[in-house]
Amino acid sequence: MTRQSEPKRTAVEQLLLSNAADSALADIDVSSLNGKKVFLEEKYFESEDKPYVLGAIRELISAGGGLLQSDAGAADVIVEARSGALSIDSGNSLVGLPEMPVPIPLSGTVVSPEVPFYKVDRQYGVARIALLAYDAKTRQHVLSTGSQAGYSHHHYYRILGFIKWTSTSLPEKK
């Protein structure tokens, strides 16, 4: 028998977060770091998805010409990353009959099935990321990105219980 396991979050949830983070970072200009040795300070960034976002920031710095350093002592510039949000909001709407427990005397309770005329399940990924860069020796300001927001969505619609479609900003799910 094959053992099946489920991760803490679904693929859609993980994609919503990574796409929102990518969207928040998409318009950040780090060209002022071109040719400079850069150390990415991670201690101000807290999130369950920290490894992905910090990797995306490293990629942004490298693509902008920054020379990534593994030690702050070897760097010309220190970049501090922080997150104001990296999470998912969700909600749903139902026009129809919801699942309902129906007591049956002497035999317990049976749950009636949901009968949706119209139903939508919505999920929104939200990211708010900021970068601060300063000279490693003088601590003079080099760059502030301000708080950059990114969003993604995944909506699942049903009409009459069997007509179904999805609206999504996730390219992997289209």
- In this prediction, residues 143-163 reach a mean pLDDT of 93
Condensed to tens digits (0 to 9), the pLDDT of residues 119-128 reads 999 999 999 9
> What's the CA angle centered on 128, arms 75 and 153, to 5 degrees?
135
Phi, psi of 129, deg, nearest 5: -130, 140
Residue 143 has pLDDT above 70, yes or no: yes
Contacts within 8 Å (CB) and 24+ apart, 136-145: 136/39, 136/72, 136/73, 136/75, 136/76, 136/77, 136/78, 142/32, 142/33, 142/77, 143/30, 143/32, 143/33, 143/79, 145/28
Instruction: Give the pLDDT of residue 104.
Output: 87
Distance CA 94, CA 90 (A): 14
Condensed to tens digits (0 to 9), the pLDDT of residues 43-93 reads 999 988 999 999 999 999 999 999 999 999 999 999 999 999 999 999 999
Distance CA 84, CA 60 (A): 19
Q: Domains in the chain, ordered, with CATH? A: 11-173 (3.40.50)
The chain-wide mean pLDDT, for the chain, equals 92
